[in-house]
Structure 1
Amino acid sequence: MNLKIWTKPMNTMSQAHGAKWAIGDQLKPVIGAVLALALAGCSTLGASGPRGGDIRDANAQSYLGQGIEIVELNSSALSRLDQYGRTSQFAEIFTEPAPSIELVGYGDVLDIAIWEAPPAVLFGSTGANASLAAGPELASQVGIPQQMVSDAGTVSVPFVGAINVVGRKVSDIEREIVRRLRGRAHDPQAIVRLVQNQNRTVTILGEVTQSTRMPLTARGERLLDAVATAGGTSNPVDRSIIQITRGQQVASMPLERVVADPSQNVPLFPNDVVTVLHQPFSFVALGAVRTSAEVPFDGAGVTLAEALGRVGGLNDGRADVKGVFIFRLQDKAALGDSLDPNVRVTADGRVPVIYRLDLSDPASLFAMQDFAIQDEDVIYVSTAPGADLQRFVATISSAAFSIIGITNALSTTNNN
């Protein structure tokens, strides 16, 4: 009986151990498959963008068929960008002296008045007391109807005939009238006044209260005068771009910078076109930052340091401090002599550029404060290699603990 009593538990324990080992044998393929998938996924765990090393090798790649330039964000690059930024300002582009506004042009309207000293004969009449006239207060004056300058560039004056006035100052026209009247009128005097200036105007349009044409005067109207004449901007100043078109030259600046810097409030020329545009500036932050987002900024601009601050800075657990990159389609002129003169550019004359900043260098913190972010820039922070390894280890650990949990649960079920 004793033997019989002890035999049954022994068989039960053996069966339990056998079942346990059977479960382990059945799970071996599963464990192997999970480990294989985990190892295969070591390089495909997912990421927020390209690795830092891949970006550093991007100069061997292309965008829109053009080569990508990698530029280290150091003092030399910052100096080139600063110099280019200065040359693109209104005060550096529109430097020629303003032409004389007094010159008469086609379509202008002139008002001409002629005086003749007593005894007036040509334009006045002599009377019984005319011989008693002794002062200019009794001089005869005649007003000629206002005249528009003809297509031939002339106006007509009685007893003088047609006078070519286009391209001449009103003072020159006055002298020409007096010269022709000498010998016909007694001590003639003439005053010519420009009533309507149709040839020297500035067109103002775009995001303004009222598009209009502003005549230029001898006062010398400037850029902000044009904006004020049009009733101001329809949008906030810090969201507006102002553009000047002068002949073949086209240049633009944020309106807020023009307001803040009087030197950018340049004099206007005849036939200039001033356009106010609504421009919501923004940059995009991606990768190992605390907040990936599109971030708006005003026309005064924002530095790289301020831009990273607005997205919460780098993600301490994932970011590669040597892998801060700014992607930009940069004007070729901004790259200076460092650029291959034979480099290919996009259809609008720009070069795909990646600026790289190494934040492990303390000097880079100063560079961040000097580097100005532009509209449509993309800031990308690559993931540190250690972060990928950490994610891989976490994935393996999670898979292993899941298998152990399943094994224990099956063992408990069989024991019961």
Structure 2
Amino acid sequence: MVLTRRTLLAGVALGLVGCSSIPGAGPRREEVMSPQAQAAGQFVVVEIEPNALSILTSRPAISFRGSFGDNRPSPDQVIGVGDSISVTIWEAASGGLFSSPVIERMGPGSRTAVIPEQVVARDGSVTVPYAGRIRVQGLRPAQVEARITESLRGRAIEPQVLVTITRNASNTVTVTGEVVNGAVVPVNVRGQRLLDVIAIAGGARAPVHETFINLIRGGRSVAVPMPVVLERPAENIYVRAGDVITLVRAPLTFTAIGATGQNAVVPFGQIKLSLEEAIGRAGGLTDFRADPEGIFVLRFEPVDLVRRLVAPRPLDLPGPFVPVAYRLNLRDPASMFAARAFVMQDKDIVYVANAPMTEVQKVFSLINTLTTPVIQGAAVGAALR
């Protein structure tokens, strides 16, 4: 029995000494929040409280309107290489270059000539009889009409000219990606918005909440979630000739680890997800394991934003992005409202630390595992004696 007591005491001592070596899902709350750990790991801890939430919600979001503006297109389209145009010329009297003899002046079209449809050549020009090669690339139809009229002045009888774009090949937008039918969509004079040309291409093939609209214009690429464009009419900007619109399917996810109902990569299932909803999607907190004061959201943030979050504390970590551990303390009733206001981002990590008592329970469980055979052996030996 003396041996048994000594064995038990030694087991308890060894267990308490080795408490930090007990297996676990991750660091304890105290370890994450210690200044030594933050300095060693080059990260910062930010409390999820009203001031931090105000800073996070005030940062500008990626926007089509903010990036490209929303100017309406010109009422006249510009002619480009590959477009087809039709030229009609009128004269004030018969007997001219483009009119019929006097005896037929009462007939239809006696003072009119329609030049066959032409495709604008690579040099940006078309041919007009008696006027020669006329450069039309980059001009509006009214400007081309003035050029042709000036070239025919003194040759035709008070000519008047009408230029019409019959086939629009240069003023187009390319729509591709997760659409029903990829298409090259002509831009009409009325002007079309992003959702107009996407609808012409058959609409999105993937679920809307998993779809991003990527717009390439002038060498710049901007991607905005499709639900944002649907919810904010200002984001449904006018397209421009040469735009490339790609619909990309990119499901938003976060990773849940630690003392949650499930450790997994969890899809948002919607475009905007709060921390409260993320905890629910991860199965909530495990009653006998979770530390309600140790709920962390891990992500990388721009260094300028982090400086605002930690002010007036100095920030010595290098940029341009800094690892941040946002902490939620659910023992504070107000934190439940903060969890609803905190917006999750794609690829965030939600980590729930184990409660301190969990480590103690593990120690006693380990001691019980180690000492039970000794106690049982001692009991058998005593019975035999």
Match of residue 54 from structure 2 = 79
331-340 vs 244-253, which moves further = 331-340
Residues 279-328 of structure 1 show CA distances to partners (whole Å, capped at 9, x for unaligned) of 12211111122332221123422110011112232223322222111111
1:400–1:148 distance in 2 versus 1, CA, 3 Å = same
- How far apart are the structure 2 equivalents of 1:218 and 1:77? 47
- How far apart are the structure 1 equivalents of 2:316 and 2:134? 57
The 8 Å contact of residues 308 and 314 in structure 1, kept in 2 or not, is answered as yes
Unpaired segments ≥5 residues, structure 1 = 1-23
Match of residue 38 from structure 1 = 15
Q: CA deviation at 1:80?
A: 2.7
Match of residue 284 from structure 2 = 313
Residues 335-386 of structure 1 show CA distances to partners (whole Å, capped at 9, x for unaligned) of 46447787534xxx54322212222333222221111112211100112223
1:48–1:248 distance in 2 versus 1, CA, 3 Å = same
Counterpart code for 1:94: F
Residues 210-239 of structure 1 show CA distances to partners (whole Å, capped at 9, x for unaligned) of 322222121211112232222223322222
1:69–1:106 distance in 2 versus 1, CA, 3 Å = farther
1:273–1:335 distance in 2 versus 1, CA, 3 Å = farther
1:205 alignment partner, one of 176, 180, 193: 176
Q: CA deviation at 1:123?
A: 0.9
- 1:259 and 2:269 correspond: no
Match of residue 55 from structure 1 = 32
Q: CA deviation at 1:78?
A: 2.1
1:91 alignment partner, one of 51, 61, 65: 65
Match of residue 20 from structure 1 = none
Counterpart code for 2:65: A
SS in 1 for 2:357: helix
- 1:69 and 2:44 correspond: yes
- How far apart are the structure 2 equivalents of 1:119 and 1:249? 55
Match of residue 350 from structure 2 = 379
Larger Rg: 1
1:388 alignment partner, one of 339, 350, 359: 359
Q: CA deviation at 1:36?
A: 4.9
The 8 Å contact of residues 208 and 227 in structure 1, kept in 2 or not, is answered as yes
Match of residue 126 from structure 1 = 101
TM-score (structure 1 length as normaliser): 0.81
- How far apart are the structure 2 equivalents of 1:341 and 1:148? 63
177-186 vs 106-115, which moves further = 177-186
Identity %: 35
SS in 2 for 1:307: helix
Residues 221-279 of structure 1 show CA distances to partners (whole Å, capped at 9, x for unaligned) of 11122322222233222222221122232221222332233222221122221111121
- 1:297 and 2:265 correspond: no
Q: CA deviation at 1:399?
A: 5.0
Q: CA deviation at 1:192?
A: 0.7
Match of residue 177 from structure 1 = 148
- 1:364 and 2:335 correspond: yes
Q: CA deviation at 1:30?
A: 5.0
Residues 72-96 of structure 1 show CA distances to partners (whole Å, capped at 9, x for unaligned) of 2222332232233x43122332215
Match of residue 326 from structure 1 = 297
1:138–1:214 distance in 2 versus 1, CA, 3 Å = closer
Q: CA deviation at 1:201?
A: 1.9
- How far apart are the structure 1 equivalents of 2:355 and 2:286? 10
- How far apart are the structure 1 equivalents of 2:367 and 2:6? 16
- How far apart are the structure 2 equivalents of 1:192 and 1:228? 30
In the TM superposition, 1:124-273 aligns within 5 A as: 124-128=99-103, 130=105, 139-273=110-244
TM-score (structure 2 length as normaliser): 0.87
1:223–1:335 distance in 2 versus 1, CA, 3 Å = farther
The 8 Å contact of residues 70 and 353 in structure 1, kept in 2 or not, is answered as yes
The 8 Å contact of residues 210 and 249 in structure 2, kept in 1 or not, is answered as yes
* Corresponding pairs, count: 379
In the TM superposition, 1:96-107 aligns within 5 A as: 97-100=71-74, 102-107=77-82
